[in-house]
Amino acid sequence: MTTFRHGRWLTGWVPIASDARVVVCGPASWNHLIVLDRLPEPVPHMQFALDDVHTVGGTSAGKALHLSDLGVDVTLHSLIGDDDEGRRVAAALRAARVPIEVYPSERTERHVNLMTQAGERVSLYVATPSEASVLAVARVQRAVADADIAVVDLSALGVSLVEHRLRGAEGAPIWTDLHDYDGASAFHEPFLRAAEVVFMNDDATGDPWALMQSCLDRGPRLAVCTLGSRGAIALAADGERASVPAVPVDVVDTNGAGDAFFAGFLAASLDGAELSGCLEAGARQAVVALSSEHLHPAVTEA
């Protein structure tokens, strides 16, 4: 079987330290989720919302919330503004017991997500963080160097981190989430080449196995692809394949399900699970996000 240890997929069982230090680097945002009966057509018209909620968002915040829930020693590193939205984000994460290192930004990232009950989504970026200072980037680079695993998400800050790695910097093995990668996006390329483990979904491909193989051809040791209600699949560089069905669930909201899956998979790998077991753990954790109108139920209490 195939087991993960500090970023390397090896043949045969290898003990893994379950107390590994994980850093998650990337977006934490304040989101307004609006649920509609259908996504808007591109013509002037009026629609009535079925529901709406203001809550924490951001792919890195979601991963950190679920890793913390699973008992992983995790710290979130994110650019957050000194504004009302930033204070709400930081307070919600700390109330959910997520350790967070805040780096200054002129504004906090904000989204308006138009959702349907079937899980379709249009994300409108209302505000994005300002560029990270040289000092901030250096601090995050040191955190990545000192960690056992670094989750580096798609963002301007993430670009700095992966380019630093591609220039020869040493540090923790990088795991990255390519989201709806189509196999050709130039923005995703440095993340792909710097990572040892890559995640994605099948939204932009008709052949997820071929997409994962194309990723492995550029350097990663493992590729994982989520398939929505059809489950998830994984392909290792040594040719091992694995798949898992989705866990049945009454869906409340689809935001953050992929981040929860990522966290469940990573936590299981730290505990020494084989590839299929990691997929199963990811599918179980996705249910936690799908069953809540927030990224994680702990945010409800914040």
Q: What is the pLDDT of residues 158-181, one digit of tens each?
A: 999 999 999 999 999 999 999 999
Q: What is the pTM of this model?
A: 0.93
Query: What tens digit of pLDDT does each residue of 179-237 get?
Result: 999 999 999 999 999 999 999 999 999 999 999 999 999 999 999 999 999 999 999 99
Q: How far is CA 53 from CA 82, 90, 122, 287, in A?
A: 22, 18, 15, 20
Residue 248 gets which letter from DSSP? P
CA 215 – CA 105 distance, rounded (Å) = 33
Confidence at residue 11, expressed as pLDDT on a 0 to 100 scale: 38
CA 67 – CA 193 distance, rounded (Å) = 24
> Residue 110: is its pLDDT beyond 50?
yes
CA 240 – CA 205 distance, rounded (Å) = 21
Confidence at residue 17, expressed as pLDDT on a 0 to 100 scale: 56
Domains (ranges, CATH) in the chain? 18-27+58-106+130-301 (3.40.1190.20)
Confidence at residue 19, expressed as pLDDT on a 0 to 100 scale: 83
Confidence at residue 118, expressed as pLDDT on a 0 to 100 scale: 82
Average the pLDDT over 79-87 and give the result.
97
Q: Which pairing describes strands 222-226 and 232-236: parallel, antiparallel, or unpaired?
A: antiparallel
CA 163 – CA 25 distance, rounded (Å) = 14
> Residue 1: is its pLDDT beyond 50?
no
Average the pLDDT over 286-300 and give the result.
93
Kindly report the number of other CB atoms within 10 A of residue 134's CB atom: 9
